[in-house]
Chains A and B, each alone.
Chain A
Amino acid sequence: MATPAREPTGIPPRSLTGRLLRWADKRLGAAKLVRTALDKVFPDHWSFLLGEIALYSFVILIGTGVFLTFFFEPSADVVVYDGSHGPLRGVEMSQAFRSVLDISFDVRAGLVMRQAHHWAALLFLASITAHLFRVWFTGAYRRPRELNWIIGLTMMLLSIVNGFFGYSLLDDQLSGSGLRIAYSVVLSIPLAGTWLVSLVFGGEFPGPDLLTRFYVLHILIVPALIAVLVTLHLAILLRHKHTQYPGPGRREDNVVGERLWPTYMAKAVAVLFVTAAVVFLLGGVAQINPVWTFGPFRPGDVSSASQPDWYMGWLDGILRIAPAWELRAFGFEIPNPFFFAVLLPGLIFGALFLAPFIEERFTKDRAEHHLLDRPRDHPRRTAIAVASLAFYLVLLGAASGDVISLRFGLSVNTVIWLFRIACFAVPAAAAWITVKLCRELQARDAGGRIVPAVEEMPKEPATPAG
């Protein structure tokens, strides 16, 4: 049962708060609604912070991003640099690249904002990924939360794409290589590829309108989509009320935690400020993407050991270890990148989107769930999640294959073959160990006795679907 609501004696009728609220309520009539909202109870656990940190990173991204738009020029027009960075003076470059140099060297606080923006993007994707795995490990995507899982994954995809747009806009040597790869991936799509690159890039690479288009996408369209989806994500969260870990007094039909006002809100705002503090500390003292050392993009130049930002790394890893397969017949072909840069990531994300429904099919569990699972109690789901994480990390490592081969004095071929084997062997081993570990932990919970494993069958009878 709900704890008795506080007596409404807090605000004396003539206090400032009281008068302000009365003024507003006579026009909006929202006192009851807002009171209900402020009384909402949120459960407290460190792992619930991950999604929050993602939200706050998004806020910081918008703040720093707006600052950057005042100084960035998305133009491919060629100019000769004459700013304050000596080594590049007299070099021909695009206006876009020059404006990035100006932000870095001549705009006050420009570099700290630019680097904070980049760090916030990395933290955004990192916290989204961690949040995704929290939801996965605890089975929080089960009914009724499938829609929020799908919305969350969509936001993750949009964020990955927008991160790519973001670092492509700088028009430095590294981002030029990244764009060229993206162009080649789109081009590889059968039948539509040649048209698609023309429509997206405005013509053959590099395309005359590329920067302006990616700029509009990066600062307006994708962020607006993410903002809409964040709103939906949170609205659905409020409707469901947050999941909670099992514990004394916690049941499927209640939620135990802190009320939104004031304690939870104060803590949430505190997390926002601490997140911002970390981002700006990194932005100030940890150099990131020093484009002035890469130089402006030239089609014939190349930088060795070029790597994308970490959230694109796994895709790059796939491409590096992919075998040289492609289909050719009658002068037509399905090029190699289509299989490994379009089809495979498509299948992976497709499986992720369908995960709640696939699990439901196997467990026949159609009940509503608001209590989270402990990962150990569901060895198969946990093993699949761990194996996926391992697969992801191996691919991320493969994206550094050339650096690893240099560092350890191995041939590139050896390293790539090791990763080819590892991307199958490591996830399999990780899954096996996870299952063993889960059973061991279950046995320990049961007081040392080896009991028949708790499998992912629901304990409670399935309630009729609504």
Chain B
Amino acid sequence: MADRGPLPGRRSWSLSRRERMPALAFGASILASIGLAIVYWQGGQTQAEGVLLAIVLGGIGVGLAGVAQRFLPPGPDEEPRPPVPSTEEEVAAFVADFEHGGEGLARRGFLVKLMVGAVGALGLAALFPIRSLGPRPGRGLKETPYRPGIRVVTEDGEPVRADQVAVDGVLTVFPEGHTEAADSPTLLIRLAPGRNNPREGRSGWAISAPNGDLVAYSKLCTHMACPVGLYQAAEGLLLCPCHQSTFDVPNHARPVFGPATRSLPQLPLGVDGDGYVIAEGDFSDPVGPGFWDRGR
């Protein structure tokens, strides 16, 4: 109690030993605040701001903790803790009061039903605006902008020549005019001669050349649509960086490891009159992750 304030006759800035720590903390905080203002005024510097803010706030915190520990009344104090539940009488009185208020309503059953109906109808009507939040899911999930004859282009919009991709090379392409389409990223991969083992009925989907087959698969993982960007050319494996699904490109990009269950959809390729790579149609399957009616 003697430390609560300056003693009479003692100058207010002379500190007792117990006052020293909090005083130092508060003082540091004041100085750091001034420093913070200067740093900000001078154009700011992230690290200095962080350190100074820490001193400003930490000084107040530490000082306050010191004051609390040294000069404020210490515990332990004790308080009774009555049981949580109300007594039987209190509950009974409440129930009686509550039901008393409802008696008038009970005799107007039809009105009450109408009122409930009105509120319910309002609730149903309020559901309709939810419908405006998005369009009806249509064919969009099963189609991409690829059409027969559309050129494939790089991210910069440049058309691609078939001989542009070397053996074991990989190139990310899009349908021309749709380089921002999130469902369209496609991988062009050149497999060494004789390595491509196409699925039945898709033997003509690759562009064959003396230096190997050029194949195209959706770049979107069939698990969660992460772009499958890591190609290990030696094994012909495409690895998804998100959940490590692995696809065997020479064997029609079937999943060989990880959580993906389906092959990457294949894009049928061709070459137009000017020697540029075109799509001969849309992907073999809906791209990206599964959904309940994907196969319908």
Question: Contact residues of A with B, CB < 8 Å?
Answer: 1-3, 39-41, 44, 108-109, 111-112, 115-116, 144, 177, 180-181, 183-185, 187-191, 193-195, 197-207, 239-241, 249, 252-259, 262-263, 266-267, 269-278, 280-285, 298-306, 316, 319-320, 322-326, 328, 331-337, 340, 368, 370, 401-402, 412-413, 416, 463, 466
**Closest Cβ neighbor of A180 among chain B residues:** B225
Tell me whether B243 and A320 are in contact (CB under 8 A).
Answer: yes
Tell me whether B293 and A331 are in contact (CB under 8 A).
Answer: yes
**Distance (Å) between the CB of A318 and the closest chain B CB?**
9
**Closest Cβ neighbor of A299 among chain B residues:** B182
Query: How many residues in B have their beta carbons less than 8 Å from beta carbons of A?
Result: 87
- Chain A residues near B167 (CB-CB < 8 A): none
- Chain A residues near B227 (CB-CB < 8 A): 177, 299-302
18 A-B pairs with CB atoms under 8 Å apart are: A39-B79, A198-B135, A202-B133, A207-B134, A240-B84, A254-B80, A263-B75, A267-B65, A270-B62, A270-B65, A299-B227, A324-B255, A325-B261, A333-B295, A335-B291, A337-B289, A412-B239, A466-B83
- Chain A residues near B288 (CB-CB < 8 A): 184
- Chain A residues near B79 (CB-CB < 8 A): 2, 39-41, 241, 254-255
- Chain B residues near A202 (CB-CB < 8 A): 133-134
Report Cα–Cα, A69/B294, bound state, in Å.
40
- Chain A residues near B229 (CB-CB < 8 A): 301-302, 304
Counting chain B CB atoms within 10 Å of each CB, the highest count among A198, A328, A370 belongs to: A198
**Closest Cβ neighbor of B48 among chain A residues:** A284
B40-55 at interface with A (beta carbon < 8 Å): 40, 43-44, 46-51, 53-55
Task: Using A112-B50, A183-B225 as known contacts, list a sample of 7 further A-B pairs with CB atoms less than 8 Å apart, ordered by residue number in A.
Answer: A249-B76, A254-B81, A266-B72, A281-B54, A285-B51, A331-B295, A333-B290
Count of chain A to chain B residue pairs whose CB atoms are closer than 8 Å in the complex: 307
Mask, B168-188, CB within 8 Å of A = 1, is: 000010100000111111000
Counting chain A CB atoms within 10 Å of each CB, the highest count among B40, B54, B65 belongs to: B54
- Chain B residues near A112 (CB-CB < 8 A): 46, 49-50, 53
**Closest Cβ neighbor of A213 among chain B residues:** B133
Report Cα–Cα, A83/B75, bound state, in Å.
57
**Distance (Å) between the CB of B188 and the closest chain A CB?**
12
Report Cα–Cα, A466/B75, bound state, in Å.
33
Tell me whether A269 and B64 are in contact (CB under 8 A).
Answer: yes
Tell me whether A274 and B133 are in contact (CB under 8 A).
Answer: no
- Chain B residues near A189 (CB-CB < 8 A): 292
Tell me whether B258 and A300 are in contact (CB under 8 A).
Answer: no
- Chain A residues near B85 (CB-CB < 8 A): 466
Secondary structure at the B interface, as helix, strand, loop or mixed, is: loop
Question: Contact residues of B with A, CB < 8 Å?
Answer: 40, 43-44, 46-51, 53-58, 60-62, 64-65, 67-69, 72-86, 130-131, 133-137, 140-141, 155, 172, 174, 180-185, 219, 223-230, 239, 241-246, 255, 257-261, 288-296
- Chain B residues near A187 (CB-CB < 8 A): 141, 289-291
**Closest Cβ neighbor of B56 among chain A residues:** A277
Tell me whether A2 and B80 are in contact (CB under 8 A).
Answer: yes
Which listed residue, B67, B81, B137, touches A255 by the CB 8 Å rule? B81
Which listed residue, A256, A277, A316, touches B54 by the CB 8 Å rule? A277
- Chain B residues near A206 (CB-CB < 8 A): 182
Tell me whether A304 and B77 are in contact (CB under 8 A).
Answer: no
Report Cα–Cα, A59/B294, bound state, in Å.
45
Counting chain A CB atoms within 10 Å of each CB, the highest count among B47, B60, B78, B291 belongs to: B291
**Closest Cβ neighbor of B63 among chain A residues:** A270
- Chain B residues near A463 (CB-CB < 8 A): 83
Tell me whether A412 and B244 are in contact (CB under 8 A).
Answer: yes
Tell me whether B258 and A274 are in contact (CB under 8 A).
Answer: no
Tell me whether B77 and A259 are in contact (CB under 8 A).
Answer: yes
Tell me whether B219 and A300 are in contact (CB under 8 A).
Answer: yes
**Distance (Å) between the CB of B266 and the closest chain A CB?**
17
Tell me whether B133 and A280 are in contact (CB under 8 A).
Answer: no
Report Cα–Cα, A338/B242, bound state, in Å.
17
Report Cα–Cα, A40/B257, bound state, in Å.
60
- Chain A residues near B50 (CB-CB < 8 A): 112, 115-116, 280-285
**Closest Cβ neighbor of A240 among chain B residues:** B84
Tell me whether A193 and B53 are in contact (CB under 8 A).
Answer: no
Tell me whether A302 and B241 are in contact (CB under 8 A).
Answer: yes
Report Cα–Cα, A184/B224, bound state, in Å.
5
Tell me whether B242 and A177 are in contact (CB under 8 A).
Answer: yes
Tell me whether B83 and A368 are in contact (CB under 8 A).
Answer: yes
Report Cα–Cα, A239/B185, bound state, in Å.
58
Which listed residue, A181, A199, A203, A335, touches B226 by the CB 8 Å rule? A181
Tell me whether B259 and A284 are in contact (CB under 8 A).
Answer: no
Report Cα–Cα, A259/B74, bound state, in Å.
9
Given A205-B182, A300-B219, A324-B259 in contact, is the A193-B77 Cβ separation under 8 Å? no
Which listed residue, A144, A266, A319, touches B259 by the CB 8 Å rule? A319
- Chain B residues near A255 (CB-CB < 8 A): 78-79, 81
Report Cα–Cα, A312/B185, bound state, in Å.
27
